[in-house]
């Protein structure tokens, strides 16, 4: 197994957005209540990671949903009704005896991706899809790291990329204005 020797939460800090007084960034986290022994650990790790990069409690909006299938709708609510700069979706779906697992995983993955593509707000996918509870626990603070950390870092890196593009476009606009409107 490829991940058996690797802690999946090791990452480069390059390009991670940090809270600062100029931007006053806000992050939304939506976490599934289903498989709560797994998702609570992921949510705690996400919050700890945000605090590592300067975010305070008042910069973080934490909401819960009944199950992972509801994560895309909650992410869409964050886009439409909350003033957040990035969204982190955290959930856990464990394989059972029926094909229900496949439908839930497919639907929620496509849903989160759709919200991500339809909005200008980065939406991070922090959903574990495992064969059993032990695999989930190993990836929610166990030997393979914590998906809450990984999703948070992904959200912050995408947010920083967005901020960089916005800053570059702002500079280009200023240059054009000088070129055409200054005497």
The residues near 164 (Cβ < 8 Å, ≥ 6 apart) are none
Closest of 86, 111, 107, 79 to residue 17, by C-alpha: 86
Q: How far is the C-alpha of 162 from the C-alpha of 153, rounded, in Å?
A: 14
Per-residue CA distances from 169 to 45, 165, 166, 179 (Å): 34, 6, 5, 15
The residues near 156 (Cβ < 8 Å, ≥ 6 apart) are 16, 17, 18, 50, 53, 86
Closest of 123, 116, 138, 130 to residue 89, by C-alpha: 123
Is 144 tagged catalytic? no
Residue of 15, 24, 82, 100 marked catalytic: 100
* CA angle at 161 for the pair 112 and 89, rounded to the nearest 5°: 25
Q: How far is the C-alpha of 94 from the C-alpha of 116, rounded, in Å?
A: 24
Residue 124, classed as helix, strand or coil, is: strand
Give the residue numbers marked as catalytic.
Answer: 100
């Amino acid at each position: 197994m490829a991940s058996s020797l690797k802690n999946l939460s090791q990452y480069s800090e390059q390009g991670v957005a940090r809270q600062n007084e100029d931007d006053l960034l806000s992050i939304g986290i939506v976490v599934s209540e289903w498989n709560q022994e797994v998702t609570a650990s992921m949510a705690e790790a996400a919050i700890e990671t945000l605090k590592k990069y300067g975010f305070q409690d008042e910069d973080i909006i934490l909401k819960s949903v009944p199950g992972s299938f509801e994560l895309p709708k909650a992410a869409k609510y964050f886009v439409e009704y909350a003033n957040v700069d990035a969204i982190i979706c955290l959930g856990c779906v464990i394989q059972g005896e029926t094909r229900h697992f496949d439908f839930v995983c497919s639907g929620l993955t496509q849903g989160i991706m759709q919200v991500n593509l339809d909005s200008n707000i980065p939406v991070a996918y922090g959903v574990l899809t495992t064969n059993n509870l032990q695999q989930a626990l190993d990836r929610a603070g166990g030997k393979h790291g914590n998906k809450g950390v990984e999703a948070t870092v992904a959200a912050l890196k995408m947010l920083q990329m967005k901020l960089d593009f916005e800053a570059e476009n702002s500079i280009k606009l200023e240059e054009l204005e000088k070129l055409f409107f200054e005497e």
